[in-house]
Amino acid sequence: MVNKDYDAEDLMGRDVLEFWSKMAECATFRQRIRAIEEYLVPFAARARVRTLIMRTAKHILVCKGAVRIDEIAFHAVLSVRQFERRFSLP
């Protein structure tokens, strides 16, 4: 999905068209924020629990990339070998 254009309706469903219309009708920034929250909060409520890779990526971000593999593996509750097997490229 990287570096490609996709139609919002194809990705998010027909509701996104109504959302775009609501955004166009907003006169203030505050109204836009409210419309965005009303549209996105239901998605957040249905979001999955953070996966191992999501937690690992968050830890790397928090450390600004300055983190050792053994530390990342520790936070992922994996041995270094298990971590490398799980996250190495084929």
pTM above 0.85? no
How confident is the prediction along the chain (90 residues), in pLDDT tens digits per residue?
A: 567 888 888 877 888 899 999 999 999 999 999 999 998 888 877 776 667 777 788 888 888 989 998 988 888 888 999 988 887 766
pLDDT of residue 26: 95
**∠ CA 27-31-36 to the nearest 5 degrees?**
125
Torsion angle, alpha carbons of 27, 30, 33, 37, to 10: -110
pLDDT of residue 15: 86
How far apart, in whole angstroms, are the C-alpha atoms of residue 37 and residue 31? 10
pLDDT of residue 21: 93
